[in-house]
Amino acid sequence: MNPLLYTFRRCPFAIRARLAINISGYQVEHCEVDLRNKPQALLECSPKGTVPVLQLADGRVIEESLDIMQWVLSTHDPENWLGGCNGPSAETMALINRNDHSFKPSLDRYKYAVRFPEHSVEYYREQAALFLQELEIRLSQQPFLNGDQRSLADMAILPFVRQFSNVDNDWFNASNYRYLIKWLDTFLESTLFKTVIEK
């Protein structure tokens, strides 16, 4: 029995888990979850009921996308996303942490601004853009977030920048984030992304 991945095609957390699974060659079965009608098997192995969740063949459960990425890459990491035997650097993990705990909440308010009438769409976009500015500066100095090769930082963050860009694609493409747009477009055009996003 192969490990089972509970996933949702458009979820950025699930996308980044699938990116790592794909590049590592780790064999899993996929279960696409209807978030409005979650399967009982998912809730039994992970009561929090969010995706992605990886249930291993021995019954162990990995419930966080970043943990899934690191688990499968520890089995095979052909592009060295983890950065060697010592694993991701503190700088990498801090950058991903800012994405997950600062940028993502701002992104959600920007995307679903109607649910948060305290401020305007523009306000929430500006709050989210503080993180994008940090990425733009990095990418103005090197092709990827950690240097000349894509790494865990790129793959863990790219799906969220994609989600941001899709809120108002015209605004995003007309913005001054020249390096960020190129970085994102390269990702969207890659065989890796097209493989993990296909229905």
Domains in the chain and their CATH numbers?
Answer: 4-78 (3.40.30.10), 90-194 (1.20.1050.10)
Q: Residue 10 and residue 32: Cα distance in Å, rounded?
A: 10
Provide the b/e sequence for 95-133 (b: ≥16 CB within 10 Å): bbebbbeebbebbebbbebeeeeeeebeebbebbbebbe
pTM beyond 0.85: the answer is yes
Q: At 151, is the secondary structure helix, strand, or coil?
A: coil
Least Cα distance to 65 among 111, 115, 11, 113 occurs for 11
Burial-class residue 23 by CB neighbours within 10 Å (0-12, 13-18, 19+): buried
Q: What is the pLDDT of residue 155?
A: 98
H helix runs in 25-148, sequence order: 40-45, 65-75, 90-98, 104-111, 121-139
- What does the pLDDT look like over 138-156, one tens digit per residue? 999 999 999 999 999 999 9
Q: What is the pLDDT of residue 151?
A: 96
Cα 45 from chain centroid? 22
Residue 192 in tokens: 């890796």
Confidence band, pLDDT 50/70/90 cuts, at residue 86: confident
Cα 121 from chain centroid? 23
Distance of CA 179 to CAs 8, 35, 139, 140, 160, Å? 29, 34, 6, 6, 16
Residue 72 in tokens: 């499968």
- What does the pLDDT look like over 62-83, one tens digit per residue? 999 999 999 999 999 999 999 9
For the chain, percent of residues with pLDDT exceeding 90: 95
Q: Is pLDDT of 199 > 90?
A: no
Q: At 91, is the secondary structure helix, strand, or coil?
A: helix
Q: What is the pLDDT of residue 163?
A: 98
